[in-house]
Structure 1
Amino acid sequence: MKNDRLFQLVYLLLEKGSMSAPTLARELEVSVRTVYRDVETLSIAGVPIYTTTGKNGGISLMEGYSFDKTLLSDYEQNQLLFAVQSLKAADQQVDSLLSKLGGAFRKPSQDWITVDFSRWGLTQVDSVRFETIKNAILAKQVMQISYCGTSGEITNRRIQPLRLIYKDKHWYLQSYCLKSQDFRLFKVRRIVEIKPIDEHFTQNYKGEIPPIEMADVPCSETTIKLKISARLAFRVYDEFDREHITVMPDGSMLVEACFPIDSWVISYIFSFGTDVEILQPPELRYQLSEYAEKISTHHKP
């Protein structure tokens, strides 16, 4: 504990240059008397640390003193700081590490990235969920979940959580499902309930975890051409690759992409309302029209 405090004291001085004993005491959560004892200990150990009195006095390190940084280039030091900053953005407690690295490299940490796992309006709920999943993955703790599948049926499963994956605007939990006795991807938003249980696993599944591509899902794709009005340009850029978009002189957008012709793609195109026109294939126009009639009939008083 004391050795860690001594290192922290040195890191603080490397970062700040000079600090008063009361300020160091607050940072280290010790008494001023303990700070001076630590300064004496460091001095005896050969660290060039000294104190000055007066209005601008304080505790400092000899100018030019630093740890040996020759193993890392300036670029590598920046990359390391940026990587740790990314962890902070992902809600990890790395302030102390950032301070130490910044002091060792004599570089201030830069708040260059922010990552928020939560959905709009659900910050607290989603943050708790991600924290629960993260802790279970790190502790190799089995979890009990209730999951809503694509059929709408909610099933209860015991899973061994392996890693969180962000792909195509969605978060997935890759796990080994003890019910299926196989690896499974669970969309985090469809996990109705989640609870760690008092059971741990030791398997690391090294080399066994399948790639995250859902190649096992049968999919017969067809080229679809759509004309979408300029009013929904924001959706087009959100949801399609730029190479699949052609902007017309009137501002409307031609989109050409491959989709499976199923109930999902019909409801998806329907979500564009009257701002979309199906140019190809012709049979999809009929299917969409039929779908719209069913919606209309369903909502008639």
Structure 2
Amino acid sequence: MKVERLLSMIMTLLAKERVGAQELAEQFEVSPRTIYRDIDAINMAGIPVRSTSGVGGGFEIMPSYKLDKKVFSTAELSTLLMGLSGLSGMMRGEELVNTLAKVKSFIPADRAKDIELKANQVCIDLSPWMDTQNIQPYLEIMKTALQESRLLTFAYVDQHGNKTVRTVEPYQLVLKSSHWYLQGYCHIRNDYRLFKLSRISGLQMQGETFTPRNYQKPILDFEDVLETMQTRIKIRIHQSVMDRVLDFCPYEDFSTDGDEYYIVSFPFIENDYYYGILLGLGDRCECLEPTHVRAEMKHRIRNSAALYGD
């Protein structure tokens, strides 16, 4: 497409001091005459491109317009590359590729090795170890719906297994703890809702558009709420599940109990999710106190055992 060629041509002119018409023609597989027309279009768009004739001549963006490549420090460019590279593992698309190319175009040749080394010192991989559902097509549909203010319809299964069909105005895609969510205004609930993409099926983008409302951002930080809800329980765990328990509390909450066991002050909320965490540790975890949590653990274990008979 012409627009994509013009954007790529601008990036080439920003990256190089001067480029000849023939070099551009070969790079973009068009005729030199087309390159001259494209340069006229770039000038009309407000980006001043001048040409010089003779040996070593060609096109260049006027120095007064160019962004100084030294405006970013080595650390800043490395940080930008680290963040964009990590995001590229979760969100794919031409815009991300183009953004990476633009950032790289600001890297001076004499600092390229140093910046590449620093950018590779930290690896940000937001993708899960095991992905049982490919949500990438849904992300692409939602991104288009966000850009064009188009309604989305889909079936949604809540945490209790209830399935409903929703019509939603999309407002924001959220990546939190390796899971994608869609924040939107639900026409059924007449309110904003945060939908987990793994619970969505049958996603369709409608032809109907909507007028955006005053957007209400989702609440993503529950630290203050959790502090008021959580209590501490005492559990005894085997060292083989220590890494899993460390996902929920720091090492300072552990104390040794013999050679292979630890006593842990574990943050706990009395709901199915937290009981499921403890039950998931199997016979490598024992709740010591309080007594009512220990009794509930016994009750749930008996119910699980009953499924398998005597």
TM-score (normalizing by structure 2): 0.71
Q: 1:192 aligns with which of 171, 189, 201?
A: 201
Tell me the CA shift for residue 287 of structure 1: 1.5
1:6/1:98 CA distance change after superposition, 3 Å: same
| 3-state DSSP of counterpart to 1:295 | helix
Tell me the CA shift for residue 149 of structure 1: 1.3
* Correspondence 1:155 to 2:164: yes
* Correspondence 1:240 to 2:248: yes
Q: Name the counterpart of 1:120.
A: 130
| 3-state DSSP of counterpart to 2:299 | helix
What is the identity, as a one-letter code, of the residue corresponding to 1:106?
A: P
Q: Name the counterpart of 1:27.
A: 27
| 3-state DSSP of counterpart to 2:231 | strand
Tell me the CA shift for residue 10 of structure 1: 1.8
Tell me the CA shift for residue 283 of structure 1: 1.9
| 3-state DSSP of counterpart to 2:192 | strand
1:106/1:161 CA distance change after superposition, 3 Å: same
2:21–2:36: 8 Å Cα contact kept in structure 1? Answer: no
Tell me the CA shift for residue 271 of structure 1: 1.0
The Cα RMSD (Å) is: 4.3
* Correspondence 1:13 to 2:16: yes
Equivalent residue runs for 1:1-301 within 5 Å: 1=2, 4=7, 6-14=9-17, 21=22, 24-31=24-31, 46=50, 51=55, 67-69=66-68, 72-74=71-73, 78=77, 81-82=80-81, 88-89=88-89, 90-93=91-94, 94-106=96-108, 108=112, 110=116, 112=120, 115=125, 117=127, 120-122=130-132, 125-206=134-215, 208-213=216-221, 220-237=229-246, 239-242=247-250, 245-246=253-254, 248=256, 250-300=259-309
How far apart, in 2, do the equivalents of 1:12 and 1:189 lie?
41
How far apart, in 2, do the equivalents of 1:104 and 1:266 lie?
52
How far apart, in 1, do the equivalents of 2:155 and 2:171 lie?
17
1:244/1:253 CA distance change after superposition, 3 Å: same
1:38/1:168 CA distance change after superposition, 3 Å: closer
2:173–2:182: 8 Å Cα contact kept in structure 1? Answer: yes
How far apart, in 2, do the equivalents of 1:264 and 1:4 lie?
50
How far apart, in 2, do the equivalents of 1:261 and 1:294 lie?
18
Tell me the CA shift for residue 294 of structure 1: 1.4
Tell me the CA shift for residue 143 of structure 1: 1.0
| 3-state DSSP of counterpart to 1:151 | coil
How far apart, in 1, do the equivalents of 2:54 and 2:75 lie?
31
Tell me the CA shift for residue 220 of structure 1: 4.9
Q: Name the counterpart of 1:55.
A: none
1:84–1:98: 8 Å Cα contact kept in structure 2? Answer: yes
1:195/1:256 CA distance change after superposition, 3 Å: farther
Q: Aligned pairs, how many?
A: 286
The worse-fitting range, judged by mean Cα deviation, of 288-297 and 239-248 is: 239-248
How far apart, in 1, do the equivalents of 2:204 and 2:49 lie?
50
Specify every segment of 5 or more residues in structure 2 that has no aligned partner in the other structure, as ranges. Answer: none
* 1:101-158 alpha-carbon deviations (Å, 9 max, x no partner): 44355355857555555673547x2211222222222222211121111221111111
Tell me the CA shift for residue 229 of structure 1: 1.0
Tell me the CA shift for residue 12 of structure 1: 4.9
Specify every segment of 5 or more residues in structure 1 that has no aligned partner in the other structure, as ranges. Answer: 53-57
1:194/1:49 CA distance change after superposition, 3 Å: farther
How far apart, in 2, do the equivalents of 1:222 and 1:5 lie?
57
1:255/1:20 CA distance change after superposition, 3 Å: farther
How far apart, in 1, do the equivalents of 2:8 and 2:102 lie?
12
1:131/1:253 CA distance change after superposition, 3 Å: farther
* 1:6-59 alpha-carbon deviations (Å, 9 max, x no partner): 534423535xx989956x4443232467669989x99x964568756xxxxx98
1:67–1:104: 8 Å Cα contact kept in structure 2? Answer: no
1:164–1:172: 8 Å Cα contact kept in structure 2? Answer: yes
| 3-state DSSP of counterpart to 1:120 | coil
How far apart, in 2, do the equivalents of 1:19 and 1:241 lie?
61
How far apart, in 2, do the equivalents of 1:48 and 1:174 lie?
52
1:277/1:87 CA distance change after superposition, 3 Å: closer
1:157–1:179: 8 Å Cα contact kept in structure 2? Answer: yes
How far apart, in 1, do the equivalents of 2:241 and 2:197 lie?
28
Tell me the CA shift for residue 212 of structure 1: 3.2
2:253–2:264: 8 Å Cα contact kept in structure 1? Answer: yes
